[in-house]
Amino acid sequence: MDTLGTPRTNRRRLALLATLTLLPFAAACGSEDAGSDSVGAGARASLSDARWGVDQVTTDGTKDAAPDTAWLRVSGDGKVEGNLGCNHFGARADFADGHVAFEQVQSTEMACDGVPADFEQTLARTLADGDLTAEADGDKLTLTTKDGDRVTLSKQEAAPLKGTKWTVTSPDADGKAHLTFDEKAGEVSGSLGCNRVKATATIRDGSITLGSASTTRMMCDTSLMTAEKKLLGLFDSTVKYRVDHRTLTLTSENGESVTAAASD
């Protein structure tokens, strides 16, 4: 894990976390003593249940749509975790005076397919740009820097394995590969990035037994066909699966993994 910025940068106060902390306090002011421990406990409890997906980052008037894999979550014990789109990051949250400061901010440093490195840098830089003002509207949150740059987020609910459209993020298929598991039909269907696919799917005890893949027979761009070949390796076998909120990981018998994000 590599440190994101200097200790001074790491202690910059982010209004993202400040706002998430302040909202429960504001709701409680009419009925509870603002100085009571119960108010603070309530704020932490609400934070531990909220996962915010990044929708878009706007800097210098330029809008960049975020990949489905970018998100942020703060737990009740002050642990911060998230994903910049490809690389995971973590920190400690210091709650004080209606603000929360990131401490010990660290991230992985992987090169990933399908997620431009400059997007991750833009998101990280914007979140760490001092105090951010925030406007909440239902399940939407907009964070704005003093220079007018913005990060827009949406509260995310956990996605079930069955019935969710899972868009493959690795291998990179330019967002064109996706799978949906149909419990009633006992099958999986979708796209391998180029060709449509369908197969039987039996889900049991953390594993999925996939039947032989029935596909169309089109030839596409070389990169898509390469991703398609890897995805086809999942079929006619039993794979392990793990769902982490809105991320699905499928691991083949030879240890190769495919990851996908829940699509709204």
Most confident of 21-30, 89-98, 172-181: 172-181
Nearest Cα to 211, choosing from 178, 180, 189? 189
Task: Tell me: pLDDT of 24 over 50.
Answer: no
* Selected residue with higher pLDDT from 65 and 43: 65
Q: Maximum Cα–Cα distance for the chain, whole Å?
A: 67
Residue 33: how many CB atoms within 10 A of its CB? 10
**Both tokens assigned to 128:** 């760490």
pTM above 0.75, yes or no: no
Cα gap 115→175, rounded to integer Å:
11
Q: Is the pLDDT of residue 64 over 80?
A: yes
Looking at the predicted structure, is the pLDDT value of residue 50 above 50? yes
Q: What is the pLDDT of residue 99?
A: 47
Predicted local distance difference test score (pLDDT) of residue 111: 77
Running DSSP on this structure, what letter comes out for residue 12? Answer: P
Mean pLDDT of 13-39: 33
Cα 169 to Cα 163: distance, rounded to the nearest angstrom: 18
Condensed to tens digits (0 to 9), the pLDDT of residues 101-151 reads: 566 778 888 877 777 888 998 998 887 776 667 677 778 888 788 899 998
Q: What's the pLDDT score for residue 94? A: 60
The predicted-structure confidence for 149-183, as pLDDT tens digits, reads as follows: 998 989 888 899 999 999 998 998 988 999 999 98
